[in-house]
Structure 1
Amino acid sequence: MQSNQRATTGAVSADAGDAIDVTETRGLGGARLSATVILMRDAPDGPEVWMQERVLSMPNYPGITVFPGGGVDTRDFPGRSWDDGELWTGRSGVALARQLGLTKYKAHAVMFAAVRELFEETGIFLVVDHYGNLLDDASIYHEHRLALESHSLSLTDVLQHNDLVVSGDLLLPYGRWVGKSERGTWFDTFSFLAAHPEGQEPDGNTGEADDANWFPPGLLIEGWRHGLVRFAPSTWMQLVELAAHDTVADALKAARDRTITPIVGDPVDDERMEEYFHRAPKDRIGRHL
């Protein structure tokens, strides 16, 4: 379904995040709040996920293959006079907050960070127009994508000036992991599952990744078993779970109303992670899938 909205360009000052203390961006134990999006599509041989291998110069998780995502920052929070109906449709922010175990205020920021990071890193824009139609062409918002990357605009700016809204129905909460990067930085990361929107195509045009593409979850796991690809524990477990589904619809159905319980640290005693922690293969540095 095609949106009839045209992108408005130019820097716009936003009140989103006004007077937000940096501590608002912290989650459990002071870890930085972050969000990732597991983007899935159906393919002839089964579902595929969009993955990207982070460049080696990244301070956190260099060379690791990840889902698109990043940290929550102050521009992802609503203004203090926030009304759900202004920039949000579908499932309510209150319902999302209850599932995530967050305040409504932080749940809004986590969802907006997920939408923003996915758009910045892939060009996929999971928003709807004022008719409730999912965009089938996000390319007209390319200048906004660049402005979001440079922090000269917030997602709130882009939505307000193009009559677009975030839909709470498009991204399903999938997991919450509180873990430490190899650098020692702690992240409180919320993962969301989303179906690839028809008409939009991810492009991987991000300076944070050396490579990006669609892969079957099972192939990624086999690549890990042969030392050809590296994952954080959360990514590995989520890929194993997703590999059990025959279609995207099956994966989305299983994710609905999923209980989101935080996993803190490395769950070395979790039997689901036995292969990851106790039978991990030797990495073959410089090799790719």
Structure 2
Amino acid sequence: MTIDPAGFPAPPALVEHARRFRAEGGVPAAPRVAATVLLLRPAGAGFEVYLIRRVAAMAFGGMYAFPGGGVDRSDSEAHLDWAGPAPAEWGERLGLAPDAAQAVVCAAAREVFEEAGVLLAGADPASVLGDVSGDEWETARVALEQREVGFAQLLADRRLTLRSDLLLPWSRWITPEFEPRRFDTYFFVALLPEGQRTRDVSREADRTLWLPPAEARARAEAGELNMLPPTLVTLGQVAAAGDLAGVARAAADRDAATPVTPRLDDPEGGEPRFRLR
């Protein structure tokens, strides 16, 4: 997908943030490292992507996005059974040291379980769990979400292996400098494991949708779904891949290390728009 040189319309609230930041001579906040996952599933001749709408009280509240969140200490300290590329290989793809890359991958898997009830793990490196929607799994998910247990401990208690190979790196985005809460977010794609289903369980979302990526982007551009540039652009990119096999092929060649940062172009008398760099 070619990025639209005309940019993207900027929500009024973000324009006000940016103007206030400039007027007050604000100092950019340090971005927190984060991970987000585009869950994909077959749908007829095509495929769909899972979207959640952030609750109003959250950062970027009211916006549709993908499940995800910040890397926390438990991710960086995790010692767990691991399948797929070694942390050093992940580091090469993500432009990170091996330990930092492992933390980002762990955060991606943890967040998609916390926010969508999908667990990218199996009894061994060649298997993946089926249905994890029962009461026992929900109790475990809530304990993880409330930080009563770490992700590595949750997997170890059940003798499970993290299937890092089910995550495919896609891109990296950094929140604009004027935002009070900023994230350095690594985007991944993953196929919904057979037998598992997403569940509307996150306390941080008030609506969930499965939609074809092209339709989701079209509805956002029509004003039906509120989205920020990272979500809009990524939907267009995966839609352009054509099918799930095409998404996997595209992921293999993508630069997931070089960050993209939306910049607000706010000309006097003109329409404020986000442009990408």
Normalising by structure 1, we get a TM-score of: 0.77
How far is the alpha carbon of 1:45 from its aligned partner?
4.7
The answer to whether structure 1 residue 262 and structure 2 residue 252 are counterparts is no
Instruction: Name the counterpart of 2:210.
Output: 214
Quote the offset at 1:180 in angstroms: 3.5
Distance 2:46 2:220 in 1: 19
Deviations 1:216-267 (Å, cap 9, x if unpaired)? 1111111112111111211111001111133212111211242224334315
Confirm or deny that 1:42 pairs with 2:42.
Answer: yes
- Judged with a 3 Å threshold, the aligned counterparts in structure 2 of structure 1 residues 100 and 53 are, in CA distance, closer, same or farther, namely same
SS at match of 2:102: helix
**In the superposition, relative to structure 1, how do residues 164 and 257 fare at CA in structure 2: closer, same or farther (>3 Å)?**
farther
Q: Aligned-pair distance for 1:200?
A: 0.2
Match of 2:96 in 1: 102
Provide Cα deviations, 1:132-178, integer angstroms capped at 9, x if missing partner. 31001223422110101110001011111111111221101101011
SS at structure 1 position matched to 2:108? helix
Counterpart residue type for residue 94 of structure 2:
L
The 2-side partners of 1:131 and 1:118 are apart by 19
Give the alignment partner of residue 233 of structure 1, picking from 217, 229, 232.
Answer: 229
What corresponds to 1:75 in structure 2? 74
Q: Kindly provide the CA deviation profile for residues 28-51 of structure 1, in whole angstroms up to 9, marking residues without a partner as x.
A: x83100000000111015211000
Task: Determine if the alignment matches structure 1 residue 137 to structure 2 residue 131.
Answer: yes
Stretches of structure 1 that go unaligned for 5 or more consecutive residues are: 1-28, 270-275, 280-289
Q: How does 1:249-288 map to 2 (within 5 A)?
A: 249-267=245-263, 277=273
Q: Secondary structure of the residue that 1:144 maps to in structure 2? A: helix
Structure 1 CA distance for aligned equivalents of residues 252 and 260 of structure 2: 23
> Secondary structure at the residue paired with 1:42?
strand
Could you tell me the TM-score, scaled by structure 2's length? 0.80
Aligned to 2:65: 66
Partners of 2:242 and 2:205 in 1: CA distance: 28
| d(CA) in 2 for partners of 1:181, 1:121 | 27
- The one-letter code matched in structure 2 to 1:61 is F
Q: Which moved more, 1:160-169 or 1:118-127?
A: 160-169
Corresponding position of 2:117: 123
Q: Tell me which residue corresponds to 2:3.
A: none
Q: 1:131 to 1:73 in 2, by over 3 A?
A: closer
Shift of the 49–77 alpha-carbon distance from structure 1 to 2, 3 Å rule, reads same
Query: Match of 2:219?
Result: 223
Identical columns (%):
35
* Whole-angstrom CA distance in 2 between matches of 1:172 and 1:62: 27
Gap runs ≥5 in structure 2: 1-28, 266-271
Match among 159, 162, 180 for residue 184 of structure 1: 180
Structure 1: which amino acid aligns with 2:72? D
Q: Note if contact 2:83-2:125 (Cα within 8 Å) is conserved in structure 1.
A: no
